[in-house]
Amino acid sequence: MNRKFSFAVLSLSLILALAGCMGYDRRTAPQVPGSQGMDNNGPMISATYEKADVEYVITTQNVSVKNGVSANSPVIYNLKSGTKIRVLAKYDGNYVAYLPNNRVGMIPVSSTKPATAAVTQKIPDVPQSTASPQISAVPQTPESASAPGIPQTNQSSAGNANSSEESSMLNLVNSERSKAGLKPLASNTELTKLARLKSKDIADKNYFSHTSPTYGTPFEMMQKYGVAYLYAGENLAKNSTVQAAHQALMNSEGHRKNILSNQFTEVGIGVITDEGNNKVYTQMFIGR
């Protein structure tokens, strides 16, 4: 085996090892016992997370693909702008990509955009929750205040604007991220619609689970309605107020990890009031 070939094999092995380390990962927080309603206004919460094992991106410019992340790594392939590429993992501002010549190389994230998933159905609109808020027996801090420097994040699209409760929860989430030195999550219109659908489904069918009898898992739901992602997660909560639900989520390791994940860049929050006047909160996160 000559030197050039040995180096190529070694480089490919290192990249494949990296892709293996960044492979499929999924965690589910323990379900709260007694999944119907709330006992003494106590919180109900649950979290789940998924790393997509297959995703695609499209190059936004001509890209010289390297076999490593170093500036001195050799170029192994040249991609033209507009090429759709399969992604195996994400590392240090780069995608580990599977190339047309059956090799694996590194592509800067900044040179790509997500490939839009095939939309099979239009996302139905769900009326925003309008029921009167429950008054908690425990004094709550104001829910509408946002941390200094955290922008208000209402949607601007007509008919899809966040409700006041959804905006309050988003501001609380981004306040926590700011404290942790993380970028704020952008509110995503499609995810917001899906989050409302999930909350309404939970309220209408009286269950509390990440797997909906109507839509399946949150990841199946996203794929069904054409939301592409490399990372995705969902937090669920039932509580009397936004502040109480947020605090319960932050006090749980699995939910806090979703809120403070540096893999996530966008979020949709849906708040619906069920027949018992309890609030159902769904947070859907994606990163791409």
99 and 175 share a domain? no
Q: Which residues of the chain have pLDDT under 50?
A: 2-41, 53, 129-159
Residue 269 lies in a domain: yes
pLDDT at 162: 83
Q: Are 160 and 193 in contact (CB under 8 A)?
A: yes
Helix (H, G, I), strand (E, B) or coil at 4: helix
Q: How far is the C-alpha of 36 from the C-alpha of 247, rounded, in Å?
A: 21
pLDDT at 230: 83
- Please name every residue paired with 114 in a beta bridge, in sequence order, or none if there are none: 57
Neighbours of 143 (CB within 10 A): 19
Q: Are 163 and 148 in contact (CB under 8 A)?
A: no
Number of domains within the chain: 2
Residue 184 lies in a domain: yes
Which positions ≥6 away from 277 have C-beta within 8 Å?
A: 131, 132, 134
Residue 88 lies in a domain: yes
Residue 33 lies in a domain: no
pLDDT at 141: 25
Q: How far is the C-alpha of 167 from the C-alpha of 152, rounded, in Å?
A: 7
177 and 244 share a domain? yes
189 and 261 share a domain? yes
101 and 166 share a domain? no
What CATH number is given to the structural domain containing 249?
3.40.33.10
Residue 106 lies in a domain: yes
pTM for this model (two decimals): 0.62
76 and 184 share a domain? no
pLDDT at 137: 27
pLDDT at 147: 32
190 and 281 share a domain? yes
The rounded mean pLDDT for the chain is 75
pLDDT at 118: 60
Which positions ≥6 away from 89 have C-beta within 8 Å?
A: 18, 19, 21, 22, 23, 95, 96
**Is the alpha carbon torsion for 60, 98, 105, 92 positive or negative?**
positive
Encoded tokens for 282: 């769904």
Q: Which residues of 243-256 are buried (b: 16+ CB within 10 A; e: fewer)?
A: bbbbbbbeebebbb
What residue type is 97 in one-letter code?
A: A
Question: Which residue in 244, 235, 191 sits closest to 210, CA to CA?
Answer: 235
User: What is the domain extent for residue 209?
Assistant: 44-51+162-287
169 and 283 share a domain? yes
What residue type is 126 in one-letter code?
A: V
pLDDT at 80: 95
Please report, for residues 87, 116, 228, the alpha-carbon distance to residue 113 in angstroms, rounded to integers and kept in the order given. Answer: 12, 9, 11
180 and 91 share a domain? no
What residue type is 91 in one-letter code?
A: Y
Burial class from Cβ neighbours inside 10 Å (0-12, 13-18, 19+) for residue 42 reads middle
Residue 256 lies in a domain: yes
254 and 198 share a domain? yes
Task: Report phi then psi at 76, rounded to 5.
Answer: -115, -10
What CATH number is given to the structural domain containing 83?
2.30.30.40
Neighbours of 9 (CB within 10 A): 11
Q: Are 250 and 256 in contact (CB under 8 A)?
A: yes
Residue 137 lies in a domain: no
Tokens 């801090």 correspond to: 141
**Is the alpha carbon torsion for 190, 243, 259, 34 positive or negative?**
negative
Residue 142 lies in a domain: no
